[in-house]
Amino acid sequence: MTSIDTFDVLTLTDEARKVVLDALNNETPSETLALWIEVTGTRGPGYSYDLYFSELNLAPDDAAIGRDGDVTIVIPLASVERLRGSRLEFASEGGGGLVLVNPNSPTPEESNPGVSAEILALGVEGPLGTIAVTVLEQQVNPSIAAHGGHADLVALDEESKTAYIKLSGGCQGCAMSRLTLTQGIETMLRDAIPELVSVLDVTDHASGVNPFYTPE
C-alpha cells in the first residue's frame, strides 16, 4: 500500500478538489469515504475511467492510497501506473464537469483487445496509412461525432491494401455500425485511396452498449 505521505500518483486542482469535497459532503457518512479512481478500459486513443465514492476500509492492501488536501484517494493497483502523473481538473465547458488529464496512453494491445499481434505489427506509418489517418481525423470523425462515435485506424497493410478500422463510442455495438462502415467510412477512404482493396472492422462490438453481435 502506498502511504499517504508519499502519494504521487494523481493530483487535484483547487477547483476539482472543491467539487469533490462538495459532493462528498452530501454523502453519508462522508468521514469514512474516499474518492476511488480506476482505469476501466480504453476509449479512442486514451483510457476510460470510473470515479466514485466508496469506503476507505474496503481498499485492497496493494492499492495506492493518498491524500490531496482534504480528499483521500484510492487507486487500485492495476490502475496505478496507468494513472501516474495524472491531474483531475474541473472544466467549465459544456455545463462543467471533472476531467482527468492523463499523460499515459494505452498500448496498442490494450486499445485493441482481440486484434492479433500480426495485424498490430503492420502499423499505420506507411504512405497509405498516413492518408487514411488524415481522412479519419478530418472527414470521418467530425461526421460521426454527433452520434458519439469515433473511428481509429488500427493498422493498414500496405501490401494487400487492407485497412483495419476500430469503432468506439456510440458506434461500438450499434446496430447501424456496419452501414456506417461500408457506406460512410469505407466510401471516404476509397475516395482518398483508390487502390484500397478492403476495409475490415476489428471492433469488439460484443462489449458495446447495444451490440449487434452476440458471441455463441
Strands across the sheet containing 162-169: 149-157, 162-169, 198-201
Mean pLDDT of 179-204: 83
C-alpha cell at 125: 506509418
Distance CA 84, CA 63 (A): 13
pLDDT digits (tens, 9 = 90+) for 205-214: 665 544 333 3
**How do the domains of the chain map onto residue ranges?**
4-105, 110-207
Asked if the model's pLDDT at residue 3 lies above 70, the reply is no
Least confident of 28-32, 182-186, 199-203: 182-186
C-alpha cell at 204: 469488439
Same fold, 4-105 and 110-207: no
pLDDT score of 213: 34
| Confidence grade of residue 112 (pLDDT, cut at 50, 70, 90) | confident
Residue keyed to cell 499481434:
117
Asked if the model's pLDDT at residue 155 lies above 60, the reply is yes
Asked if the model's pLDDT at residue 183 lies above 70, the reply is no
pLDDT score of 10: 94
| Confidence grade of residue 176 (pLDDT, cut at 50, 70, 90) | low
More confident residue, 92 or 23: 23
Superfamily of segment(s) 4-105 = HesB-like domain (2.60.300.12)
C-alpha cell at 37: 479512481
Interacting residues of 107 by C-beta distance below 8 A, sequence separation 6+:
none
Q: Which CATH class is domain 110-207?
A: alpha beta
pLDDT digits (tens, 9 = 90+) for 117-142: 888 888 899 999 999 999 999 988 88
pLDDT score of 211: 38
Q: What is the sign of the dihedral through the CA atoms of 188, 191, 196 and 198?
A: positive
Is 200 in a helix, a strand, or coil? strand
Helices (H), the chain: 14-25, 77-83, 108-111, 117-122, 127-135, 141-144, 177-179, 186-192
C-alpha cell at 6: 508519499
